[in-house]
Structures are given as structure tokens and as C-alpha cells.
Amino acid sequence: MRRDSDSDKLKPDRQEKGVLSGRSNHGTTPPSTIPEGWLWVGQVGRPHGIRGAFFLKTEDNRVNWPGYKTLLLRNKQEKLVQVDKTYVSGGKLALQLLGLNSREEIEALYNSHLFVSRDEIKLEEQEYLVAELVGCDVFVEGRTGVFGSVVAVHDFGAQETLEIRRATGEEDTVLYPFTEDFVIDVDEPNKKITVKDEPAFLDEQNK
């Protein structure tokens, strides 16, 4: 069930498309607020070279760019910026924005947040935005009540995986495959995901 080349879109089967999970293992810090109609892409990282390029800090260390041309840059203020070019260096994705031409300008923007308009992301059938899956309530077929809620979406290589925090108040989470074989329905408008009753994933983890 997954996504285009960055990390924003998901399918319940394997398909690279690509916005992000809500917590980071790669040094990024999600913004406390996100402008309405926009999705978080990542943060301005350290400069690359002396002409205004920088490495993009993302939650998944993506190296592919899905072609977004216009971004919203939040530093002390918010402003629209245009992507001039993207490239990979040392296994990391680098961006060059129009109007930024020096290392010093990038250093002043370090850790600034970047957002993409929801309208720029085109979803195909059964594709979902990661940002819209996080926070969904999870229901299990044949069981009553809410099992838990999605706190993150991970890509471990073989498949996408939902990280679900149980509704019982327990601090531990479970990992559940986000594939057509396990997911019955994704109801985005109502923030509801229904999955099959698979005790090996739902009940036996963390025991």
C-alpha cells in the first residue's frame, strides 16, 4: 500500500510514492503546527557547497524528489520558495532554492521547516498520505471498540508498517503490516482504519 518517490503517499501494497510519519529517527523535529492545506516535507539541513544548496532533513532519509516546484518555507516568517534543482550527494538528497545563493543564507535557515501544498500531491486509487494516516483510529474485524490509533508509519524495506498505540492506555505500541492482505478498509474522511484480526501482530508483540 505505498507511495510515490518521496514519502507522502501510501498504498496497501508496495509502490514507491511518498509525507511523513509524525516522529523522527533521523534528526528531524516535526513542526508544532502545520498550515491548513499544506503537508510537512522536512527541514533545511546543513549547507552543501557554497552556492546555496542544502541537504534536506526528512524522517525517512529519502533520496528521491517527487517533482514539487513550490514549497512554503517557515523560518521567522512564512514565504513561498521555488525549487531550482535537486540532486543526490553522498547518498543524501540536496535541494537548491531560487534566490538562495550562499552558504551563509542556508546556515541562517538551518532547521527551518518546509511544506508542500496538498494540491500538488496527486493520489491514485488506494493511495494514502502518510500524514493523513497518523492519528487514525484502528478497528479490528470481529472485535468491539477502538483497538488503538496510528502514531507512525514505517518503511522497513519489505513493506509499509503501521505503528499502533493501544487504546488500553498502555505505553507500548504494536507494528501491523499496511498491505492489502491485512488491511480491510481505510476511511480517510472519518480517520478510521479497519484491519484483520491477526493476534501475532496485535496481541503477541511486547510479551
pLDDT at 61 over 90: no
* Domain assignments of the chain as residue spans, ordered by start: 20-120, 128-202
Q: Where are the beta strands (DSSP E) in 133-201?
A: 137-140, 148-155, 160-166, 173-177, 183-187, 192-195
Domain 20-120 has CATH 2.40.30.60: yes
pLDDT digits (tens, 9 = 90+) for 141-174: 999 999 999 988 887 666 789 999 999 876 789 9
pLDDT digits (tens, 9 = 90+) for 86-129: 999 999 999 999 999 999 999 999 999 999 998 888 777 777 77
Cα 56 to chain centroid, rounded? 14
This model's pTM is above 0.75: no
Listed range (19-23, 47-51, 189-193) with the worst mean pLDDT: 19-23
Domain 128-202 belongs to what topology? Answer: SH3 type barrels. (2.30.30)
Q: What pLDDT does residue 28 have?
A: 80
Q: What pLDDT does residue 9 have?
A: 52
Q: What pLDDT does residue 12 have?
A: 52
Q: List the one residue out of 173, 123, 184 whose CA is nearest residue 150.
A: 173
